[in-house]
A and B are shown apart, each in its own frame.
Chain A
Amino acid sequence: MDRKLAIETKEVMDNLDQKNIGIKQKEKKRFNLRNRIDRLSESSTAKLYIFPTNAVLILAILFPLLYALFLSLTKVEFAQGNLEYTFVGVNNFLEMFRDPRIPKILIQTLTFTLISVVGTVAIGFGIALTIHHGAWGAGLFKRLFLLPWALSNVVNGLMWQWMYSGNNGIINEILSKLGFIDGYKMWLVEEATAMGALIFADIWKSTPFAALLLLAALQTVPKDLYEASKVDGAGAFTQFTKIVLPTIKPVILVVLVTQTMWTLRVFDLIWVLTQGGPMDSTMTLNIYAYENAFRSFNIGYGSALAYVITFITLIFTFIYIRLLGKEN
């Protein structure tokens, strides 16, 4: 990755060119794809590169996306085993304003998302820094921190349900033995604790991914920057805020956006643990959308809610981009 390699490359090229002298000039030009593609304008090259991806995306995602959009603008009814679509325009979206459950659900969705994302990034940073700076246990941690991510959603949900059980959950056992609580609590059934329990579990599941990206990013910070700042008398904290953070801003952006996207779409965990209860205290937009589509058979309304989630995600994305000031 430096001059040496470049020089070697040049030697190889020269050898190849030597061999090509024997071939007629015309043929050489025609068959030398390498040069051909090289000469193409940047634009065409780009199109060549992204064509296959485009094809797949357009076919497989754009179609369902538009179909789902169409659904959100209709009222779907079932008659004689066929679906009947009645176009209702933005009625489904207006319905949200009339739905008395929406305000609480909206607030909860935002609470869950914000706390979860912040917690995930914070703990992710903690893990990344611990490993990067080689704190006690970093060697062990390095190999095992991805475990929560590796676990399937279904098993994850049931595992946490098992741990939170009011009957024989291990969390209850530990907390009561340590004296933090008096008797076993039913974490997932009481309004005051259900949301907190969910967030705790969600952070656990999400943080390895954040940690992974942040760790990879931390390792791209050039060492000499650290050295230089030390010479200038900077302490660890200053180094972190003035050197590390700005350098890895692009990755932080990626982490924030993806975490927000995923947290807004969390389904399995909430569905298994609380199903949106107790009394809507853990009901998020996504669960509500699913409920409407698959349990109340209001496919139109459910799809509309799903699109609202998309808009919210977009809004968050723009906010992040503004805050972190990086170009697209």
Chain B
Amino acid sequence: MKKNGFKLFLTVFSIFVFLLAGCSSSSESSGGSEDEREVNILYIGDPEFWENQAKEFEEETGIEVNYESVPFGQLHDNMFTVFSGGSSDYDVVHVRDDWATEFASMGFLEPLDEYVTEELKSEFPESSFEALSHDGSLYGFPRYTWLWQYYYNKDVFTQAGIENVPETWDELVETSKIIQEEVDGMYGYAEAYGQRFAVTPFIVHLRAEGGQFWDYEKDLPKFNSSEGVNALQFMQDMNLKHKVLHPLSFEFSGTGPLAEVFAQGQFAMSVATPNIPLMSNDPAISKVTGQIEAALIPGSADKSAGYAETGGMAIPANSKNKDEAFEFIKFATSAEQEKKMALETGNIPLNLTALNDSEVIEKYPHFGFVDEQLKYTKGLFKHEKTTEIQDEVARFVVEAVNGKKSPEDALKEAEESVLKILNK
């Protein structure tokens, strides 16, 4: 046996194997043949509802559906890489307010104004379209809202002898102190002050004080104001002066981890996303099932302050199946599908018919406040450089809340930093 013979054999074998591997796996889908219509959707795989919905669409319309799921944490970065790489692989993608603005400003998304009829528009609240628009055009079609609400544990309230739900932030602090005195080991309040997330609760407080995060007309930051300082000072006080803030708040990188701990009954109140009722009422992980109720977010200067993320679907500009894509969007946002979505995933539907459906309200009583809360709610901070700006401001917020910087300094430096980003 000669080595060269063996080597030759190996080379041939490797090439053969290469080819085999290439043929056996699926190749990327091209535009699709003339007869078969198809649509390629990119979203998450968990919960299963989303994928099942896509299958239902395929059965009903005969349009072939290719559903791709990625880990949610990778969704944004994946889309960015894929778009930058010039890919036309996807026809329907998921966007939030800020992603829609980001990607639209880079020319990655297709404007949807032509597809959306007046009739279609009337089924959804006006503000939800605003949230997904950029520069006067609509780039995302709204599907659900991830609305922040004020949640409290009514059993704990009873235990501490509290009868009135706090309506202002000062009242909330008082309530917390009473709870911490009356109930052993219970903290009054918590927020999510994770490294990159902290800007979100700050915006809530800022709005409660009557301030604004951004001046959209001049495209300048507006948070470094007296309202901003008040808000940040209040947050710092909750932590250091009144000591009603649960220390784990700094570990909460988002409202998910916060809700997990809330479901363990470690603190009594929070202002956060629907994660809270979802997890608190899940008997597999919760110790406080049935004890959580919602109310209007406390206010300060204003009666209430709100924050909501609008989740929707968009069509990439390079998509080769735009018509099919919009058909899917219409399907998924119909009253029937939205109702199913609400019942199965707990997301708050934006389709008004579904939102007011009796079955839905029965299952999710806290939806009852959605209407009113929406009145005081402004959407996500939207900007082309939203991620960068939010990451940056969040750092300073954390420094202020745990006392490393004064609120004035923190906001001043944050503003300087953001201005630099804008000039880049």
Chain A interface (Cβ within 8 Å of chain B)?
A: 33-34, 37, 52, 78-83, 165-167, 186, 188-189, 274-280, 291, 294-299
Interface contact B387-A295, CB-CB below 8 Å: yes
**CA gap between A186 and B251 in the complex, in Å:** 7
Q: Once bound together, how far apart are the Cα atoms of A278 and B198, in whole Å?
A: 12
Asked if B178 lies at the interface with its beta carbon under 8 angstroms from chain A, I say no
Q: Is the CB of B107 within 8 A of A291?
A: no
CA distance A78 to B317 in the complex (A): 13
Residue of B107, B196, B248, B388 near A275 (CB, 8 A) is B196
Q: Does B80 contact A294, Cβ atoms closer than 8 Å?
A: yes
Q: Number of B residues whose C-beta is below 8 Å from A?
A: 36
B221 beta carbon closer than 8 Å to chain A: no
The reply to whether the CB of B2 lies closer than 8 angstroms to some CB of chain A is yes
A-B pairs with beta carbons under 8 A, tally: 76
Using an 8 Å CB-CB cutoff, how does the interface string of B227-262 with A read, 1 for contact, 0 for none? 000000000000000000001101101000000010
A contact residues around B336 at 8 Å (CB): none
Rounded to whole angstroms, the CA-CA distance of A283 and B395 in the bound complex is 13
Which residue of the partner chain B has the closest CB to A187?
A: B251
> What's the minimum C-beta distance from A192 to chain B, rounded to whole angstroms?
12
B77: Cβ under 8 A from any A Cβ: yes
* Nearest 7 A/B pairs, CB to CB: A78-B106, A277-B195, A81-B107, A296-B388, A80-B107, A189-B250, A295-B387
> Please, which residue of chain B has its CB at the minimum distance from the CB of A278?
B195
Q: A81-B83, A81-B108, A279-B399 are in contact. Are A296 and B387 (CB under 8 A)?
A: yes
Q: How near does chain A come to B392, taking the closest CB pair, in angstroms?
A: 9
Q: Select A81's contact among B261, B318, B424, beta carbons within 8 Å.
A: B318
Given contacts A275-B195, A277-B195, A294-B80, contact A186 B4 (CB under 8 A): no
- A264, B11: Cα distance in complex, Å: 36
Docked-complex contact B4 and A83, CB < 8 angstroms: no
Q: Which residue of the partner chain, among B105, B266, B385, B395, contacts A279 with CB atoms under 8 Å?
A: B395
A77: nearest residue on chain B (CB-CB)? B106
Considering the complex, give the chain A residue whose CB is closest to the CB of B14: A52
Give CA–CA (A79, B248) in the complex, Å: 42
Q: How far is the CB of B75 from chain A (nearest CB, A)?
A: 12
- Would you give 19 A-B contacts (Cβ < 8 Å), ordered by A? A33-B2, A33-B5, A34-B2, A78-B106, A80-B107, A81-B318, A82-B107, A167-B251, A189-B250, A274-B195, A277-B195, A277-B398, A278-B195, A279-B395, A291-B391, A294-B77, A295-B387, A295-B391, A297-B80
Q: Does B84 interact with chain A (Cβ within 8 Å)?
A: yes
CB distance from B385 to the nearest CB of A (A): 7
Residues of B near A166 (CB, < 8 A) are: 247-248, 251
Nearest chain A residue, comparing its CB with the CB of B261: A167
Q: Given the complex, which residues of B lie within 8 Å of A83, measured CB to CB?
A: 84
Tell me which of A277, A295, A299 contacts B388 (CB under 8 A): A295
What is the CA–CA distance of A30 and B391 in the complex, to the nearest angstrom?
Answer: 71
Shortest CB distance B73–A (Å)? 9
Output the least CB separation between B140 and chain A (Å): 16
Contact A186 B108 (CB under 8 A): no
A284 to B330 Cα, complex, angstroms: 45
Q: Are A81 and B247 in contact (CB under 8 A)?
A: no
Q: Does B218 touch A at the CB level, under 8 Å?
A: no
Q: Which residue of A lies closest to B405 (CB)?
A: A279
The CA of A297 and the CA of B81, in the complex, are separated in Å by 10
Contact (A81, B106) CB under 8 Å given A294-B77, A295-B388? yes
Looking at the assembled complex, report how far the CB atom of A22 sits from the nearest CB atom of chain B, in whole angstroms: 19
Complex Cα gap A295–B77 (Å): 8
Known A33-B2, A275-B195, A294-B77; contact A78-B107, beta-carbon cutoff 8 A: yes
Q: Cβ of A33 and Cβ of B195 under 8 Å apart?
A: no
Q: How far is the CB of A164 from chain B (nearest CB, A)?
A: 9
Determine the distance from Cα of A125 to Cα of B107 in the docked complex, in whole angstroms: 54
- The chain B residue sitting closest to A83, CB to CB, is B84
Q: Which residues of A contact B421 (CB under 8 A)?
A: 296
The residue on A at minimum CB distance from B109 is: A81
Task: Identify which of A274, A278, A280 gathers the most chain B CB atoms within 10 Å of its CB.
Answer: A278
The smallest C-beta distance from A53 to any residue of chain B, in angstroms, reads 12
> Using Cβ atoms and an 8 Å threshold, which residues of chain A touch B251?
165-167, 186, 188-189
Task: List chain A residues, Cβ under 8 A from B398.
Answer: 277-279
Closest-CB distance, A170 to chain B (whole angstroms): 15
The chain B residue sitting closest to A95, CB to CB, is B424
CA distance in complex: A305, B281 (Å): 46
Please report which residues of chain B, range 1-25, place their CB below 8 angstroms from some CB of chain A when the two chains form the complex. Answer: 2, 4-5, 11
List chain B residues, Cβ under 8 A from A37: 4
- Whether the pair A33, B84 counts as a contact (CB closer than 8 A) is no
Chain B 186-201, CB within 8 Å of chain A: the 1/0 string?
0000000001100000
Q: A33-B2, A78-B106, A188-B251 are in contact. Are A296 and B385 (CB under 8 A)?
A: yes
Q: Output the least CB separation between B403 and chain A (Å).
A: 12
